Amino acid sequence: CKNGTTEEHGLLENVRCIALGGKMDTQLKMNETVRMVWLRIFLKVLSIGFLTAFIPWITLILLNAPILAPGGSLAPLLRFQPYNAPYESMMTAIHIVWAVMLWRASDDPAQHSLFIDFTIWGNAAHGLVMLIATPLQKGLVMTLIEGVPLFAIAAVLAWLRPKRSAVRPAIYPKT
């Protein structure tokens, strides 16, 4: 991304360039060592966030706690209707495994770039679905609370993700 152009870069690199206003070669560019430090921290924080959000949520649902039970005060905000505890349990299981894998990937992000890309696109796609589904059931305020953070996660990871040159050894051809 030199002089504001995005020639010969991958899609995520172009998104990073555009998000920074074409200033990749100026003061906003991080060296790869600093990028990896911040990426490791962000992956661990995201992992802890997934665990902190999903474990208590599903525990309260499975225990049929009055606050999240159908008719409970927070049920309309924190659950989609019709209520479906088996589906919510499955989503929780996926996010717990995802959190564990994020933690493991944080040890060497450059070796887990495909998983980081999956996390970027998974959060972006989930955010898009939430921008459509949430207003219909919960209103605009909950759309901002539930959908926007998913895009923020995707954007931060896209900005911090390892550059392709740091991931692909020189012996592999450029694709």
Q: Cα separation of 110 and 105, whole Å?
A: 9
pLDDT in tens, 83-133: 999 999 999 999 999 999 999 999 999 999 999 999 999 999 999 998 888
- Rounded to whole angstroms, the Cα distance separating 66 from 154 reads 34
CA geometry: angle 130, 134, 139, nearest 5 deg: 145
Query: Is the CB of residue 79 less than 8 Å from the CB of residue 68?
Result: yes
Tell me the pTM.
0.75
Nearest partner of 163 among 110, 112, 122, judged by Cα: 110
Instruction: State the residue for tokens 């609370």.
Output: 145
Residue 172's pLDDT is 53
Residue with the bigger pLDDT between 31 and 67: it is: 67
